[in-house]
Structure 1
């Protein structure tokens, strides 16, 4: 069954686990923001973050950026899983992920790189 065959999932559910992931992501966003602006990092169509152009980051900072992206993507995975579980439907994880992917792309600031139809474009 798909999520559409049930009442809509509560995407704002706030269990302690989901709240912890959101807080971690919020703290990291401050660090990622400059990289979104520069085009070094972009939002993927599948709800994650990718290093798009490491050359825009000084060599001495590239490993730190890679670690930020890795941690962000791990938290995003935990967020999708946590929201699905909190709704009592772990099988909804994929649909929740797709919904968040679209939300984040829609809310991206002008100039950020986002994936649309398999292509990277500036919003």
Structure 2
């Protein structure tokens, strides 16, 4: 009888040992990578957290999880892989260089004037076209389009470079918050609902 009672526990442990390896999105590492990338593009250190970011709140990054593999002596380090987020590939650095050059050459003065802002999707948006001199509008619109093309490309490239293309949306979300966090005082940004606010 005792032998049969032990069977369900043994079966449960055996099933647990066959769990698929989980790879959790490394939120804290992504945030650090985004901060490094964004600050090189806009050329200043931003330390103010983005509105709605709970930096000090427990569980803001990765949640602690009970891992049943611990019951049979398999370390979670072997069962879960939490890679660092790399932004040091030639493709990513080339995009970063283009974005920084474009930001300094064309976009910064229009952020300062209040014409441009950071959208809640991690891109640049023309917030108030009337604040862009008529003779500059074509160049500014082109620079905005190119900056957004590069932003989309870099979110995808970071996900692919880290062997997790499925992370693209999460990387975009982390970057969207970081653009706001690194923005200068007086610049405009969209909140989660799409309303424009001034930092």
TM range (shorter): over 0.9
Aligned twin of 2:92: 18
Q: Give the stretch that moved more between structures: 48-57 or 1-10.
A: 1-10
Aligned twin of 2:122: 47
Q: More helix by proportion, 1 or 2? A: 1
- The answer to whether the 8 A contact 1:46-1:97 is kept is yes
Aligned twin of 1:28: 102
- Map 1:94-109 → 2, pairs under 5 A: 94-109=169-184
- Map 1:1-123 → 2, pairs under 5 A: 3=25, 7=82, 9-10=84-85, 12-30=86-104, 31-117=106-192, 118-123=194-199
Q: Structure with the greater relative contact order (CA < 8 A, sep ≥ 6): 1 or 2?
A: 1
Q: More strand by proportion, 1 or 2? A: 1
TM-score (norm 2): 0.58
The CA distance in 1 between the partners of 2:151 and 2:24, in whole Å, is 21
The CA distance in 2 between the partners of 1:37 and 1:2, in whole Å, is 38
- The answer to whether the 8 A contact 1:3-1:9 is kept is no
**What's the CA shift for 1:13?**
2.0
- The answer to whether the 8 A contact 2:24-2:82 is kept is no
Structure showing greater radius of gyration is 2
Look up the SS of the partner of 2:87 in the other structure. coil
Aligned residues: 122
The CA distance in 1 between the partners of 2:140 and 2:179, in whole Å, is 20
